[in-house]
Amino acid sequence: RSSDLKQNQPRLTVVMYICHPEAKHEILSVAEVTTCEYEVVILTPLLCSHPKYRFRASPVNDIFCQSLPGSPLRPHSLEKLEKQQQEMLKPPFRKLKEEEIQATKGAFSSIHKPIAVGAQQQLTVETTHISRLTDEQLIKEFLSGSYCFHGGVGWWKYEFCYGKYVHQYHEDKDSGKTTVVVGTWNKDEHIDWAKKNVARSFQIKEDGVQTVKMVSHFYGNGDVCDLTGKSRQVIVKLKCKESDSPHAVTVYMLEPHSCQYILGVESPIICRILDTADENGFLSLPN
């Protein structure tokens, strides 16, 4: 359809396909990059079978260490660590008491599944099972920003606090915690973004009822990117995902453009609040 803003010239759309083995040919994002010119990102498993778009692991270079003249062949701290590890592995292992087993049942557990995304760096999806909060408590604390979701199992990990910020961080026992602000929440900026993009998408179920499938929120004003000289920004996509565990939360991050991120958050908990979304994608407590 022609655009009134560009002297009746036809609209233009660029469709980008990304390899995602677990995808179901779903639209990840729709954005208006310039006036009447759009970019659609689609996740599909079909692309993964093509050799040019299949994930290629980065080469690993071996590191060979040699001791300096007059130094021991192996560091004393390494020998001490290995000795401690051997002591820990010696049988017999202590048998857990019944009360200790019951106490560990409420702890957090994680499942990590690697996913190849196009020619990008390997992405790891982390599913965390939250079992210490009721549905009502978790929803309330999540929407207030007091309960944050965490993801990532590699060097960089990330933290998402609804209505507050998205951080990327690395923790080191020697140098401490290094944090990169990927995006911060600003209601007015999100409303401006929602006027040009899809903040709330729908699906039609088998019974013909229309429900909210996904909401997208814009977080801008992150730390300045060295590659672009601009502030980092991220689109947070909240999506319903059924699971055997009602409190499972899957968090993953994509970077389709330099320092422009997409953070996916999927959980059965989100299924409870998606239908409360208004035209701007704002969520509220369910009735």
- What would the pLDDT profile of 165-176 be if each residue is shown by its tens digit? 999 888 888 888
Q: Which of these, 29, 48, 47, lies nearest to 38 by C-alpha position?
A: 29
Q: Which of these, 196, 217, 221, lies nearest to 283 by C-alpha position?
A: 217
Q: Contact at 8 Å (CB) between 88 and 82? A: no
Secondary structure string (H, E, C) spanning the chain: CEECCCCCEECEEEEEEEECCCCCCEEEEEEEEECCEEEEEEEECHHHHCCCCCCCCCCCCCCCCCCCCCCCCCCHHHHHHHHHHHHHHCCCCCCCCHHHHHHHCCCCEEEEEEECCCCCCCEEEEEEECCCCCHHHHHHHHHHCCCCEEECCCCCEEEEECCCEEEEEEEECCCEEEEEEEEEECHHHHHHHHHHCCCEEEEECCCCCEEEEEEEEEEECCCECCCCCCECEEEEEEEECCCCCCCEEEEEEEEEECCEEEEEEEEHHHHCCHHHCCCCCCCCCCC
Q: Which two tokens stand for residue 6?
A: 């560009």
Q: Which amino acid is at 215?
A: V
CA–CA dist 83, 100 (Å, integer): 28
Q: Which two tokens stand for residue 277?
A: 């979304």
Q: Contact at 8 Å (CB) between 130 and 249? A: yes
- What would the pLDDT profile of 188-230 be if each residue is shown by its tens digit? 999 999 999 989 888 777 777 878 888 999 999 999 999 899 9
Query: Omega of the bond prior to 91 within 30 degrees of 0, cis?
Result: no
CA–CA dist 237, 239 (Å, integer): 6
Share of the chain above pLDDT 90, in %: 22
Residue 62: predicted pLDDT: 64
Strand partners, 200: 215
- What would the pLDDT profile of 218-263 be if each residue is shown by its tens digit? 999 999 999 899 999 999 999 888 776 666 777 888 888 889 999 9
Q: Which two tokens stand for residue 240?
A: 């319903």
Asked which of 79-88, 127-136, 204-213 is least confident by mean pLDDT, the reply is 127-136
**Above 90 in pLDDT, residue 75?**
no
